Chains A and B, each alone.
Chain A
Amino acid sequence: MSIDVATWYQAHGPMVYRRCRQLLRDEELAEEAMHDVFVQVVRREDRLRDEAPVSLLYRMATNVSLNLIRSKRRRPEDAETDLVHRIACLPDHESEVGARTLLDRLFGREPESTRVIATLHLADGMTLEETAEAVGMSVSGVRKRLRKLKASLVALEEAA
């Protein structure tokens, strides 16, 4: 069954916006990100199915927000402690700049879905089982992706 993007926008746009705002900590950027999510939906509408839109749009919102965080190098306005913001918004002093570069390199090497998986599991606190269900993978597949991510991080740290 094909999707009606306008219906999705009306029904789920608020959820997408909430997710983007949660990650970006900026209402204006969140609005931009929300619309970017629906731009992606429009461009894929003939391939998308009207099934589990909340899960799909939530993951798309996560991905778009992560990309915006990376591209804009935003700093948090409060003492944000979640992993996503620590990755993308480290203060600009020497040791942390090193860590940011390291993580940027790391995330740049990983498939986007791995970043989303990492955010769902490490930042949002979803269990491996919940994460696997959300992204449509097996638990072992999710575990493997996260292990690979952690291994990449260690390798980069050793190379740095």
Chain B
Amino acid sequence: MSRPVRVPDLLVEQLAKGELSPARAADVRRRLEAEPGGMARLAAIAADDAALQARFEVDAGMRRVRAKAAEQAVAEALHRPARARWATLGGVLALAALVLVVWGRGPVDPGLGGVPELVDDGTRAKGIESRLEVFRKEGDVARPLAEGDVVAAGQVVQVAYRSAGRRHGAILSVDGRGVVTLHHPASVRGDTRLAPGGRVLLEHAYELDDAPEHETFLFLASDAPIDVAAVAALVRVDGAAADVGRVVPGAEIHRLRLSKAAP
């Protein structure tokens, strides 16, 4: 195959973004200068970038991207056989043992063997907040739930978090009967460390019970270990609106209240 005169687009893009070594950049530039309209191609990239950056606003684009990524991740997790799911998530989640007691009927999928080692690279993402996410299984997809969404007994949901560099965390929920459920860590004396990196799905999906009015989730993310017993006790007394920041100073606190449909 004879070598085309036109410089491949990838090389032009790399040149425009300064991704080539000095020698390669000089070679590509020389080839562009020899190509009819070559330098115009290079110049056009900056203008096109500006126009497209105005069209694809970052915040909106990233919301779209993260929502779709979440749907894909949770859908895969919910549809994967239990042991395979653990194996796959293990590398990403790197969570300590999660033997959870939840919502009356308990976890859909009871404990599994093989606890992956907790990984902490010691880095923290700057300017990114931790996040709590809850998804509901709907047929073949997993829909993210938002504040106030209505859920019903028997529905299966999946809890996820994003640590954003916070090293410790606790996730609880309290229902309309005032029953507090601990989702992370496994027990009030358990290891509160969070997995670093991106979205982390808790090991199990859960089936909601028939508690009335609401199921409210709380996620506390902190740089220091959390006194989970104190947090749970406070929530048990004061309910979902408990001022949990009192017992975990400096924590990022996220709440998500889901309304329960009447039976």
Query: Which A residues contact B (CB, under 8 angstroms)?
Result: 2, 4-6, 9-15, 17-19, 22, 31, 34-36, 38-39, 41-43, 45-46, 52-55, 58, 120, 122, 124-127, 130, 134
Contact = CB atoms under 8 A, between A and B. Distances in A.
B5 to A, nearest CB: 9
Interface of chain A: mostly helix, strand, loop or mixed = helix
Interface stretch (B57-65, B136-144, B182-190, B212-220): B57-65
A36 B61 CA distance: 11
Contacts of B8: 120, 124-126, 130
B65 A52 contact: no
Given A19-B9, A43-B198, A55-B14, A35 B73 contact: no
B11 A5 contact: no
A38 B61 contact: yes
13 contacts: A5-B62, A6-B62, A13-B53, A15-B17, A18-B52, A31-B56, A35-B61, A39-B72, A42-B65, A42-B66, A54-B13, A125-B3, A127-B3
Interface in B66-83: 66, 68-69, 72-73
B92 interface: yes
B6 A58 contact: no
Given A10-B53, A13-B56, A17-B52, A134 B65 contact: no
A14 B52 CA distance: 6
Given A52-B19, A124-B10, A126-B10, A14 B53 contact: yes
A55 B196 CA distance: 26
A35 B72 contact: no
A9 B58 contact: yes
Contacts of B62: 5-6, 9, 38
The 8 closest A-B pairs by CB, nearest first: A46-B197, A14-B52, A125-B4, A42-B69, A38-B65, A14-B49, A126-B8, A39-B69
A2 B125 CA distance: 8
A13 B197 contact: no
Nearest to A14: B52
A34 B58 CA distance: 13
